[in-house]
Amino acid sequence: MFCCSLHLSVCLSNAGDGNPRESSPFINNTDDNKGNLYDGKNMALFEEEMDSNPMVSSLLSKLANYTNLTQGVREHEEADEDEGAKRQTVKSPQMGTFIGVYLPCLQNILGVILFLRMTWIVGTAGILEAFIIVTMCCSCTMLTAISMSAIATNGVVPAGGSYYMISRSLGPEFGGAVGLCFYLGTTFAGAMYILGTIEILLTYIVPNTAIFKAEEKAEEADALLNNMRVYGTCCLTLMALVVFVGVKYVNKLALVFLACVVLSILAIYAGVIKTIFEPPVFPVCLLGNRTLQNHGFDKCMKTEIIDNVTVTTKLWSLFCKGPELNASCNEYFSLNNVTEIQGIPGLTSGVISENLWGSYGPAGMLVEKAIPSVPASDASQDKHMPYVVNDITAFFTLLVGIYFPSVTGIMAGSNRSGDLRDAQRSIPIGTILAIATTTIIYLSCVVVFGACIEGVVLRDKFGDSVKGNLVIGTLSWPSPWVIVIGSFFSCCGAGLQSLTGAPRLLQAIARDGIVPFLRVFGHGKANGEPTWALLLTAVICECGILIASLDAVAPILSMFFLMCYLFVNLACALQTLLRTPNWRPRFKYYHWALSFLGMSLCLALMFISSWYYALVAMLIAGCIYKYIEYRGAEKEWGDGIRGLSLNAARYALIRLEEAPPHTKNWRPQLLVLLNLDSELSVKHPRLLSFTTQLKAGKGLTIVGSVLEGTYLTRESDGKRAEQSIKSAMAAEKTKGFCHVVVSSNLRDGFSHLIQSAGLGGMKHNSVLMAWPASWRQSNDPQSWKNFIETVRETTAAHQALLVAKNVDSFPHQERLAEGTIDVWWIVHDGGLLMLLPFLLQQHKVWRKCKMRIFTVAQLDDNSIQMKKDLQMFLYHLRLNAEVEVVEMAQLIHDRNTASHAALSDKTDATPERVHMTWTKDKFCTERNRNREPNASVAVRDLFNMKPNQSNVRCMHTARWLDS
């Protein structure tokens, strides 16, 4: 019976008193912040104390300190107010779920799209399709919030917002990609809010201040865009100056911006209830079934009777060439009558049945009501008439892209992670409750708008049919100006918050150093304000403003936010599915299937909204991820992606074990055997450069070496040798693994490496080593014996052996301008001799070298036919090489003669270069010089030797070697 006991002892004590910390009710809190824990909870001993600080007073006190700005703003504000004092960097948590998470998320989600585009989306898509759009987008953010909640409950939530939380949980690659996508989305959101601010200003508040004015109706769209560009640029400059001077002014108005949003929502619902009893009077004038712009006339009639005299109205002059009754008029105007309907018939009017289905159409399409009319034969002049028309081509996927920014802002609460009393509890509850609340508001708005407002008014984007009023404002109580003013300040506040939060996010990414070229944006003013990051944010925001159309900017930021949410869902799903050791979220009702569903929904919404924007966003995010992985991922934050990589490697190794590699997938997987000198430095570093040129970073490379001795005595030398080899590998740009073995002798050490290097299916199939230097002059016979034994053991292991002779003379990094790679081919090699030079040619050093294949012909062979056959064989292998067929005689010398001995001595003393290429003339000359009978018999026996047929078949099956 086996018994095991594990003893863990943890000692926690207070400084100086020796008492256990567990005995204190204030664990992990100092005396300074004890009061904060119970602030506002009214733990009064006497009833009289309730009067001094009641619960409502505590709530109002917290609301007075409410801020919708990202973390870090308060510290900068305090530094501005007290420049001489030391800047505070750590503050005790103050905010709960309601103030710290719920309200900021609510304020960021309810914004410009609700006020400016929601009615148009409902009218264009119809109630049913608008309901589908809202449901899809809100489901996407809800599933993403669940994934983010899992991250928030996985451990201690670091201060710094969503970027810090995600990067420290999911790793620098995911964190950087999510952070930069979130930054770009927030920056373009600032442009969208500024464009919304200018649209409200120029369309509904002071339309007469427009600089560019259209002389004709067809020029109105261009004039509006130019006005948006000019005023938007001025507004951006002003907001950027406010943020640069001090965010304390933005912070002081945070509660005002929140109040604008809340009061606007309440005004809408109050107006809806009022329509049941007394619908507001907003008449809409129709000519036939066409909706008219109610700007240039005051009465919806063609003529009127004044003092028993029939006179024409201002409406008449818009369609006729004169005020006379017999004047020439537009054909459609003459054929149809004008009627007046109520634009807001009310909740019980039954108009909901008319608004169930959508009414999509191209730009310039007339906004018409489904009533009979007399068509005109000539419609060429309709574009000059005061009709309400579509300003853009509307279709379902476009509406999805325009609407999605209205459900973003779910990370507003997590951005205050350092200011929350209990971030692991507040972020999930506050975020999910905010999304649930806004989802109910949006879905109810879809039904309410469709049930209270006429369809022609809903499709009237700018309210031209209701005398230029904001369409959603016509439904509010007590006045449309409540919504106009509220939405104006809401958009201003949201724009300022975007310009405040985006630079700080970029500054945080830059200071982490995971993206090297962004480090310059980590600097700022003395108090930490991100000056350079603010400048870049303003430049990117200006690009969005130059687009000048809110409908065109909205899909762009939708892509970046969707890509951000996609990364969050993907990482959480993979970690939960594979159950990495450091992935232990406390979010119990979270499941991996929800994250996969959220990821799929994000991906679907991206391509539904705009497939080309989706491809661009995916390309940008992918480039960011790969760049951080390649250059900047030097941070080790204990993230879950490292565990995910381990699981993926384990899965891949098990798959490799299932079956041996096919010949199509075969490539040399190298075990490089290195020798070290007495200083533990690599003797032949060119062997590593040759490995780099041969492998080009592909396949498996294991660099091994052996130290003589015992591991206990040479442990430190083994680590030094490993570091020396890794440094040499880095210098030679060799990608692979290093393995140093300490053994009693070199022979056993190399034997162990050949047998045990690698793991599972990731094992070497080839051994690369250098030719032993000066082994003939060595007094120790063990040097050449070790080499011979290594050759024999490699052969016994059925592995290929590559021996590099004179490796120190091999090319390093310099490119060869010309040259040849000569291969003496034999059929027994299985194709390896042809594969190696081809792999070398893929590297830049050998790219300009030509490949030559030499083969030996027997005396009775047809050399011409052999050359043709070999050329065809190389063609099938897709190898570009020159073929040379040569005839070589085996020179047999009598080693017992004195001349042969003298020749051998001379060769040893003064080695000459041996020419291995034999021509036919040289062969005949040599054959005549060596006419001994026994030599002829030996040559004949040599050429009559036949290769092993199994090796021949192996060669033919290895024809399609994968390079």
The residue-averaged pLDDT of 129-151 equals 93
For residue 926, pLDDT over 80 is answered with: no
The mean pLDDT of 179-208, rounded to a whole number, is 93
For the domain spanning 65-278+395-609, the CATH number is 1.20.1740.10
Convert the pLDDT of each residue in 82-126 to its tens digit: 544 444 444 444 778 888 889 889 988 998 999 999 999 999 999
Whether 903 has a pLDDT exceeding 50, the answer reads no
The pLDDT assigned to 545 comes to 95
> pLDDT (tens digit, 9 = 90+) per residue, 861-877?
777 888 888 888 888 87
How distant, in Å, are the alpha carbons of 41, 43, 44, 49 from that of 55?
7, 10, 11, 11
Question: Would you state the pLDDT for residue 575?
Answer: 75
Collapsed DSSP state (helix, strand, coil) of residue 800: strand
Q: Using the predicted structure, report yes or no on whether residue 345 has a pLDDT greater than 90.
A: yes
Least confident of 528-542, 703-717, 770-784: 770-784
Cα gap 767→755, rounded to integer Å: 11
Task: Tell me the C-alpha distance between 120 and 412, whole Å.
Answer: 27
Find out whether 705 and 673 touch, Cβ atoms under 8 Å: yes
Upstream peptide bond of 478 is cis (omega within 30 degrees of 0) = yes
For residue 719, is pLDDT > 90? yes
SS3 of residue 30 by DSSP? coil
* pLDDT for the residue 598: 92
Residues in contact with 386: Cβ distance below 8 Å, sequence separation at least 6, in sequence order: 217, 292, 293, 295, 296, 318
- For residue 387, list its beta bridge partners: 292
Residue positions counted in the chain: 963
Torsional sign, CA 478, 481, 483, 489: negative
Full-model pTM: 0.72
Determine contact, residues 735/697, Cβ cutoff 8 Å. yes
Does the pLDDT at position 608 exceed 50? yes
Residue 394 predicted with pLDDT over 80: yes
Q: CATH topology of 65-278+395-609 equal to that of 664-773+780-813? A: no
Q: What CATH class does 664-773+780-813 carry?
A: alpha beta
Report the sign of the C-alpha dihedral through residues 232, 611, 366, 358, in that order: negative
Q: Rounded to whole angstroms, how far apart are CA atoms 818 and 917?
A: 20
The answer to whether 285 touches 316, Cβ cutoff 8 Å, is no
**What residues contact residue 532 under an 8 Å CB cut-off, 6+ apart?**
520, 521, 523, 524
Q: Pick the residue with more confidence: 66 or 263?
A: 263
pLDDT tens digits, residue range 219-229?
Answer: 788 888 999 99
Q: What is the CA radius of gyration of the chain?
A: 40
Q: What is the pLDDT of residue 217?
A: 72
Q: Work out the mean pLDDT of the chain and round it to a whole number.
A: 80
Q: In degrees rounded to 5, what are phi and psi of residue 922? A: -65, -35
Give which of 421, 418, 419 is closest to 39, Cα–Cα. Answer: 421
The pLDDT tens digits for 265-324 are 999 999 999 999 899 999 999 999 999 998 878 889 999 888 888 898 999 988 998 888
**Cβ–Cβ < 8 Å for 701, 737:** yes
Distance CA 694, CA 838 (A): 9
Lowest mean pLDDT among 52-66, 139-153, 549-563, 932-946: 932-946
Contact call for residues 547 and 397 (beta carbons, < 8 A)? no
For 546-592, give the secondary structure using H, E and C: HHCCHHHHHHHHHHHHHHHHHHHHHHHHHHHHHCCCCCCCCCCCCCH
Query: Could you state, in order of their start, the residue ranges of all structural domains in the chain?
Result: 65-278+395-609, 283-342+361-384, 664-773+780-813
CA 489 to CA 483: how far, in whole Å?
10
Q: By percentage, how much of the chain surpasses pLDDT 90? A: 34
148-173 mean pLDDT: 79
> What is the C-alpha to C-alpha distance for residues 774 and 664, in angstroms, rounded to an integer?
40
> How does pLDDT run across 625-649, given as a tens digit for each residue?
888 888 765 666 655 666 667 777 7
**pLDDT over 90 (residue 544):** yes
**Span of 355-359, 538-542, 944-948 with lowest mean pLDDT:** 944-948
State the DSSP string of 163-177.
HHHHHHHH-HHHHHH
Whole-number pLDDT of residue 120: 95
b (16+ CB within 10 A) / e for 226-243: bbbbebbbebbeebbebb
